[in-house]
Amino acid sequence: MRVVIAEDLVLLRDGMVRMLTAYGFEVVAAVEDGATLADTLVSLRPDVAVVDVRLPPTFTDEGLRAAIAARREVPGLPVLILSQYVEQVYARELLSDRAGGVGYLLKDRVGEVRAFTDAVRQVAAGGTVMDPDVVAQLLGGGRSAQLATLTPREREVLTVMAEGRSNAAIASRLVITEKAVSKHINSILTKLDLPPSDDDHRRVLAVLAYLGG
């Protein structure tokens, strides 16, 4: 699996290169600024990009902007964003185009090697991965009337679903059956007014409603 890394901290960048290489990934480029990142993603078209939000020269949102610009040129390009902090607007902006795999993890998660490499694979495969701390803070914000109708268990299911987990993984995490997970998800989709559709990914739309609530 071909990976591009964008991180300005040399030690962290080199550490991710070594880690991902050791776990079977092919790191085709490791860059340190947003301008280089956008060109690299468009020219190399990796299977997944791991991108720090804040890159030189201003250390604001160059990484995110470069990733979004590259996804305009390469629709569906999988991107896993890393950030030092929970920045809700970035999570929502990345998810807004609803194309391809996306993820948002705090940098602390990089040290959880197995979970981090699993997250990279999930995003490369088209999944959505959200850091549990990001989800928890988003839950603390305003909620729509529809989200307010969810039961505590349905919120738990939606929280794990926002991490990009399958029904089997959700069942394992919450210690319930997959049948129960399916029942809760159907109830969530009904309450969020997301009927079956050939054009829309209802799980992603549910997560978007959750993040925007």
Burial grade of 172 (CB within 10 A; 0-12, 13-18, 19 or more): middle
Candidate CATH numbers 2.40.30.10, 1.10.10.10, 3.40.50.280, 1.10.3720.10; the one for domain 145-212: 1.10.10.10
Query: Of residues 161 and 86, which shows the higher confidence score?
Result: 161
Our measurement of the distance from residue 152's CA atom to the centroid of its chain's CA atoms, rounded to an integer in Å, reads: 23
Per-residue pLDDT tens over the stretch 121-153:
999 998 888 777 766 665 555 456 677 788 889
Choose the most confident range, by mean pLDDT, from 25-34, 69-78, 183-192: 25-34
Instruction: Please state, in angstroms and rounded to a whole number, the distance separating the CA atoms of residues 71 and 46.
Output: 12
Helices (H) and strands (E) in the chain, counts: 11, 6
Banded model confidence at residue 6, pLDDT cuts 50, 70, 90: very high
CA atoms of 166 and 145, how far apart (whole Å): 26
- Considering the four listed CATH numbers 3.90.226.10, 3.40.50.2300, 3.40.1280.10, 3.40.50.1000, the one that applies to the domain covering 2-138 is 3.40.50.2300
Tokens of 144: 């729509």
Contact yes or no for 34/8 (Cβ under 8 A) = no
Question: What backbone torsions phi and psi does residue 71 show, to the nearest 5 degrees?
Answer: -70, -20
**What is the residue extent of each domain of the chain?**
2-138, 145-212
